[in-house]
Amino acid sequence: MAKAIRLVLLGAPGAGKGTQAKLLQEKFAAPQISTGDILRKAVADQTALGKQAADFMNRGALVPDDLIINIVGERLAADDCKQGFILDGFPRTIPQAESLDATLKRMGQPLNCVLSVRVPHAEIVERLSGRRTCRKCGALFHITFDPPRAQGVCDKCGGELFQRDDDQEATIKKRLDVYESQTAPLASYYAKQGLLREVDGVGTIDEIRTRVYAALGDLVQ
């Protein structure tokens, strides 16, 4: 029986965090909280948040900390997070990580693991430029490595597949620069707390899932 998991998935855009988060979500019955998904929905729904976030996202820049911190704080207070949560794409800066620590301390629910998924940048560019997402159910495909049965159509729900605006090559490079300067320092922030575990993120989805479970070790039993 898996224990409650309070996990941060760390890794560059395209490292496979979202894919592994979806698998872990089923295993642990704890929700995947993807700030990227929350923001994309806000942009599509044209909410006040979406209008503030869209320009930053299209440029491959980070949305300001105060905007994102409030959203995650509200999401973590929801009932379905009482048995744990899987944070995917948050925190992305040291101030976000500090604020998350403070929020979870108040809730008496500190993180029990931070898993860093490591993939070389050259592979990331290849992965992201071929990535396609289902507009309806969010399922992920890759035009070369994991193509859908029918071009442009989701295998799972028949929805339309699209390429994210920020998955164009120039924006990918910018996102990787932002990752190196603002997010990569989180690895040593969490290593100092004794929370950091690392996995090699190159391989098939199943191979990486096996490594992820091995790295989570005690939490998976």
Q: Which amino acids are annotated catalytic?
A: 17, 92, 131, 164, 175
Among residues 7, 218, 17, 206, the alpha carbon closest in space to that of 111 is found at 7
Residues 152-191: x/- map of binding to ligand AMP (CB under 6 A)? --------------x--------x----------------
Q: Which of 60, 84, 138, 201 binds ligand AMP (CB under 6 A)?
A: 60
Half-sphere exposure of 11 (CA within 13 A, CB side): 31
Stretch that binds ligand AMP, among 3-11, 83-91, 105-113, 203-211 (CB under 6 A): 83-91
Nearer to ligand AMP, 19 or 35 (CB): 35
Helix (H, G, I), strand (E, B) or coil at 163: coil
Q: Which of 30, 62, 113, 219 binds ligand AMP (CB under 6 A)?
A: 62
92 belongs to the binding site for ligand AMP (CB under 6 A):
yes
- The whole-angstrom separation of Cα 55 and Cα 46 is 12
Cβ at position 57, least distance to ligand AMP in Å: 4
Q: Which of 11, 13, 16, 138 binds ligand AMP (CB under 6 A)?
A: 13
- The whole-angstrom separation of Cα 100 and Cα 18 is 20
Residue at shortest CB range from ligand AMP: 36
E strand intervals along the chain: 5-10, 32-34, 84-88, 113-118, 131-134, 140-142, 161-162, 196-200
Stretch that binds ligand AMP, among 23-31, 59-67, 129-137, 208-216 (CB under 6 A): 59-67
Q: How far is CA 200 from CA 49, 96, 203, in A?
A: 35, 25, 8
- The whole-angstrom separation of Cα 120 and Cα 215 is 19
- By the criterion CB under 6 A, which residues form the site for ligand AMP? 13, 35-36, 39, 56-57, 60-63, 68, 89-92, 96, 166, 175
